[in-house]
Chains A and B, each alone.
Chain A
């Protein structure tokens, strides 16, 4: 027993403490204290699309399907489905024994209401609605979705882990309009959210929901049996990485979602702490350009930047010196997956500043200012901004560096005016690898002009490739479509990826069941 606990024990024995009894030693062992990647400020996974909200929501709400570690959608709340021979009618049947946290059973009408709230805010959901004929609850356990055209990626849409996920809520809550936040958090998943103990910005508390019936079989990411082996989970928000590292070492927290890589050697030296890669699918950094205005409306200028860009510089700046954590991308899709392609991507892998300068001169760049929006409060984006300022200056461009906070970036990037009138030329962001595995749900890759994501790239050939992928009946044709998309996206610089990076996660030795994945999975995790 360490000195402090000895002291504490002696004092406690000698003092009469008031009011609430301390949690017994046993109960404390069944409480997992987790440090999340960001603050859980709000808790509506459909209304807000931040990753941290999705991570918490995944343990409180269940989904119809769930992707496993191969990103194949497996049935979760659904017992089975039948598709008509023409591929237009999908009939789903729910598992027996599904129950909400307020004790009411999960019925098909709850599912239909939840889908109706989710679909308008999700790209795949929007595609489904566009071709929807009808979506009805047939009875308490069955519902039917009739389409006007086949949609083979239906199960993936309902089971993906990219935000927003199709979480199933009670009908009355799912009836909340999409532009309002839900105010009740009645879940369908294995843990319930303790709203009265929630201190936004400091703490969130989840408790095991005893009446949840997990599926048979082992859990694999969002699929399989979600068995909770702890009584209680506390999310402790720590704004200071040094403090979090110390807290982990001192045993005041048990699991840290994303330690910064520079502190990992310190944690590794501690005998009580284990460190491993958090997410094999990693993240893709992005140098997002504004295709509407100068200078990045000029293809050659974009190409010059991509040519000069050294992903290695960005990755070292963002993730550190640990080369196990990053690699250079030859394309726009997630490395290590079947859809990763380097077709046409040679220019991304070898930076060439001289060739880039020549290309810039050829492009007719007339020294227009490049307005860079950089959120200083984002630990991943701030170093990228620093590297960019350096890169563009060396390239000979006129840099207008706007150092501000993420909120301002978020507002300003939606403005379509020219940079001089409140607009922008570039900003940095990153995309979870799970979202970039293929064109489904990969918003940032869409190049349909005004309907595209911020930056509004307009590249018909990329769009054509994406449509080919959606319609591809065989994996071989899918791969061909991916290669085409990649080539066109590189050639036209939809955006400039700054590299592929992963992060670590760290936990204490007495916690078992921690797995790698696109989000932290709390089923199967226990503490001794």
Chain B
């Protein structure tokens, strides 16, 4: 029985409008604008790279020394370089190499680093040796390591990827190992061990899924760093051979003339910066979406 005097409360007026929970992809993107911007720009670059032959480009390697260093205009949209090659075509095709280098390095460094990190995190014996080796590798400046590796062999895209990957592996290994070490102490892992689950199974079921998130974020940063490193390697003269245009070596070739013909350096620099920016933004967005606390570690 409701006591007298206690009237049934009227519904409160809507002082605060109801918050519409944002759902779906668009909602997701609106909540994390950095993923939208970063991802969008990256997608544009990917399309440029993939569809380069259809975007009114000429053969990026065809020379015409008689038409060298022409200003941007109707004939050469971004101008022509010192050998008469079309900068516009080279920049668009260059996207392929730079993106390939970035993604390959990110992928391989992540996979190999993951394997080593898991292994080292789990197996105590291997841990100290592996970490010393990783420390050693990290203490060699990555650029110097890459130059030295490049000098070992001829210049080619594969070797650039190899060199930068080796330089990036230690970081991934540390990250994964850190995750493994912290997870190893968790009760559910203990329980799994106690119930007799094999090491591999534990790694696969419990540890691995937890490493994927920070690993993905780290991979985006590695991708960005790799693209910049490729540019620097080309600048020094130890990067991809000029037969294969990459943003790095287009800039390297044009560096001597940048004050008189700035467009040779300007256009690849802009494209490279935008792409790297996009990847970084994407990484930031992913990190914030997954777990903002990761910002401390990555």
Contacts and interface: CB of A to CB of B under 8 A. Distances in A.
| Chain A–chain B contact at Cβ < 8 A | yes
B142 interface: no
Contact of B260 (A266, A390, A404): A266
Interface string B228-244: 00000000011001110
B197 interface: no
B69 A262 contact: yes
A316 B259 contact: no
A390 B61 contact: yes
A245 interface: yes
A241 B243 CA distance: 23
Given A262-B69, A404-B154, A240 B255 contact: yes
A320 B154 CA distance: 28
A376 B256 contact: no
B77 interface: no
A387 B259 contact: no
B177 interface: no
A401 B151 contact: no
B256 A403 contact: no
A266 B242 CA distance: 26
B154 A241 contact: no
Contacts of A383: 82-83
Contact of A390 (B63, B156, B241, B259): B63
A276 interface: no
Given A316-B65, A376-B242, A404 B155 contact: yes
Given A240-B255, A242-B258, A320-B68, A387 B63 contact: yes
B242 A316 contact: no
A473 to B, nearest CB: 45
Contacts of A395: none
Contacts of A241: 256
B193 interface: no
B273 interface: no
Interface in B205-253: 237-238, 241-243
B12 to A, nearest CB: 70
Contact of B259 (A266, A382, A402): A266
B65 A403 contact: no
A21 interface: no
Contact of A317 (B65, B154, B156, B259): B65
Contacts of B55: none
B259 A242 contact: yes
B241 A316 contact: no
Interface in A286-322: 312-314, 316-317, 320-321
A262 B255 CA distance: 11
Given A382-B242, A389-B243, A403-B243, A265 B65 contact: no
Given A376-B242, A403-B241, A312 B66 contact: yes
A401 B237 CA distance: 16
Sort chain B's interface into a size bin: 20 to 34
B83 A262 contact: no
Interface in A393-413: 401-405, 408
Contacts of B151: 405, 408
Contacts of B241: 376, 401, 403
B128 interface: no
Given A403-B154, A405-B237, A317 B256 contact: no
Given A386-B63, A390-B61, A390-B63, A316 B68 contact: yes
A349 B258 CA distance: 33
Nearest to A401: B243
B237 A312 contact: no
Nearest to B61: A390
Interface string B83-115: 110000000000000000000000000000000
A260 B155 contact: no
Contacts of B256: 240-242, 260, 262-263, 379
Nearest to B151: A405
B62 interface: yes
A403 B240 CA distance: 8
- Shortest Cβ-Cβ A-B pairs, 4 listed: A403-B241, A316-B65, A403-B155, A241-B256
Given A260-B256, A316-B66, A377-B237, 18 more contacts: A242-B256, A242-B257, A266-B260, A313-B63, A314-B65, A317-B82, A383-B83, A386-B83, A387-B63, A387-B83, A401-B243, A402-B154, A403-B154, A403-B155, A403-B241, A403-B242, A405-B151, A405-B238
27 contacts: A240-B255, A240-B256, A241-B256, A242-B255, A246-B259, A260-B257, A262-B261, A263-B256, A263-B260, A266-B260, A312-B65, A313-B65, A316-B84, A317-B68, A317-B82, A320-B69, A376-B237, A376-B241, A382-B242, A383-B83, A386-B83, A386-B243, A387-B83, A389-B243, A401-B241, A403-B155, A405-B237
